[in-house]
Each structure stands twice: as C-alpha cells, then as structure tokens.
C-alpha cells in the first residue's frame, strides 16, 4: 500500500558537470545548485511534504580541492544568512544532520543561530546533511544505544540523526548516478529509490512532482506479499 510521501531525501548530484557543459568554473555549478535548493524547498512545502533532507556536504567531500571546499562552505553560509527570513515566512524548520559541530567555529555559530531562529516552525522540516556520512551516523547511534544498555534496532533508530523526523519514504538522486554514496543507509532500508538523469541545477519542481507521482503509484510491501 502506498500513500503520499511525507519525507523525501535528495542526493543533489551534478553541479560540476552542469558547469563543465557550459564551460564555467565548478563554483558556478554550485551557485546554480543553491538556486535549485531554494526552488525545491519552496515546492516541497507547497506539495505538502513534512520533511526534506538534502545531502549538501559529505564527510568524503573534504577530499576535494581546498578551493572548492572553501567555495562550498562560503555558499552554504550565504544561503543560511540570506534565507532565514524566508524560512520564517514559510514556516520552515531548519535541521542539520551529520558531524557538523566539527566544522569551523564561525560556521557552527551560524548554524546554531539558524536552528534557534527556526525551531518553532512547523510546516516543513528542511534537514541539511553537513559533514555527514551514514556509516559514521550508524557508529554514533550504536555507541549511544550501547551506553543505554542494549544494542537493538529500535535503540539504534532512536539515536539516528533523523530520529525526530518521519520515516524516509523516497530517496532521489540526480545526474544519472545510481548509488547511495553513504547517505541515509539505515533510513533507506525500505525507502523507494528514484534516479533521474537531470543534473541538480536543472532539477525543477516539475521533476519533484514527477518523482512524487511515481512514488504514489508504487506498492510498498515492506517484505510482505
């Protein structure tokens, strides 16, 4: 049985290829990707999603050139600063998952402020994965479960970064790649997967609606008949 999706996650892939196709520097692709984020966050609320989780910066992304990492961090800071008022106006609650407190102190302070300012918003939760890796998340959750006395599936799930969010219904990956890339491994156990060749900067509300429409047509059995 399938009903409308409550929680959608997106692996936002293809910024670099988008820029390369246009003979632009990679940072231009990342800037275009930020604009796509803004558009999709607005659309998610309009389409009734309770939660949207975006893979913004993985724990493996530190392997990229220092200049690109700095560009990504700068864009992320500007996005938070410029969009806080819009989050408030649209009742969007910001959440950050991953080991984000290991980021630079100015980034951590900025995130803390944004989390506090949006904590009372209720329409849609926007979870941004920063310095995130699902294997690291599972290690942290297992340690917390063990500290509580028992390592069970329920105990691990209670200590995941997404524990206070609805179960993941649909995971989307753009750019034609077909893998999870260490993203929401536990949460994806029974999520529906949707892959599109669209590069992330080109991913529009119509593409999100197409993914949600396909999700609504699927039958979810959770291992049953």
Q: Is residue 148 part of a domain?
A: no
CATH number of domain containing 203: 3.40.1180.10
CA distance 188 to 168: 7
Q: Is residue 153 part of a domain?
A: no
Q: Look at residue 9 and tell me whether its pLDDT is greater than 50.
A: yes
Residue 148 CA, distance from chain mean position: 28
Q: Look at residue 171 and tell me whether its pLDDT is greater than 80.
A: yes
Q: Is residue 161 part of a domain?
A: no
Q: Look at residue 2 and tell me whether its pLDDT is greater than 70.
A: no
Q: Is residue 145 part of a domain?
A: no
Q: Is residue 199 part of a domain?
A: yes
Query: Do the beta carbons of residue 138 and residue 157 sit within 8 Å?
Result: no
Residues involved in catalysis: 13, 61
Nearby residues of 65 by Cβ (< 8 Å), 6 or more positions away? none
pLDDT band of residue 225 (cuts 50, 70, 90) is low
Token pair 């059995």 is found at: 221
The kind and range of the H/E element at 46 are: helix 26-46
Q: Is residue 141 part of a domain?
A: no
**81 vs 100, more confident:** 100
Question: How many separate domains does the chain show?
Answer: 1
- Name the pTM for this structure: 0.94
Of 70, 118, 78, 72, nearest in space to 96 by CA: 118
> What pLDDT score does 1 carry?
42
The whole domain housing 44 covers 7-131+169-217
Q: Is residue 156 part of a domain?
A: no
Q: Is residue 60 part of a domain?
A: yes
Q: Taking the CB of residue 173, how many other CB atoms lie within 10 A of it?
A: 23
pLDDT in tens, 40-69: 999 999 999 999 999 999 989 998 888 888
Q: Look at residue 153 and tell me whether its pLDDT is greater than 60.
A: yes
Mean of pLDDT over the chain: 93
> What pLDDT score does 77 carry?
87
Query: Do the beta carbons of residue 46 and residue 209 sit within 8 Å?
Result: no
């Amino acid at each position: 049985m399938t009903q409308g999706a409550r929680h959608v996650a997106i692996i936002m892939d293809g910024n670099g290829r988008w820029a390369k196709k246009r003979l632009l520097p990679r940072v231009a692709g990342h800037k275009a990707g930020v604009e796509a984020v803004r558009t999709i966050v607005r659309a998610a609320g309009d389409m009734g999603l309770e939660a949207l989780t975006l893979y913004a910066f993985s724990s493996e992304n530190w392997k990229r050139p220092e200049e690109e990492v700095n560009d990504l961090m700068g864009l992320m800071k500007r996005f938070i600063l410029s969009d806080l008022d819009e989050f408030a106006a649209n009742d969007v609650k910001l959440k950050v998952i991953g080991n984000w407190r290991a980021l630079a102190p100015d980034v951590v302070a900025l995130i803390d402020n944004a989390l506090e300012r949006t904590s009372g918003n209720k329409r849609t939760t926007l979870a941004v994965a920063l310095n995130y890796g699902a294997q690291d998340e599972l290690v942290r959750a297992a340690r917390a479960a063990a500290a509580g006395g028992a390592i069970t599936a329920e105990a691990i799930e209670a200590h995941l970064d997404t524990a206070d969010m609805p179960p993941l219904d649909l995971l989307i990956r753009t750019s034609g790649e077909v893998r999870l890339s260490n993203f929401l491994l536990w949460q994806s156990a029974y999520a529906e997967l949707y892959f599109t060749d669209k590069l992330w900067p080109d991913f529009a509300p119509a593409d999100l609606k197409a993914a949600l429409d396909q999700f609504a047509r699927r039958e979810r059995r959770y291992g049953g008949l």
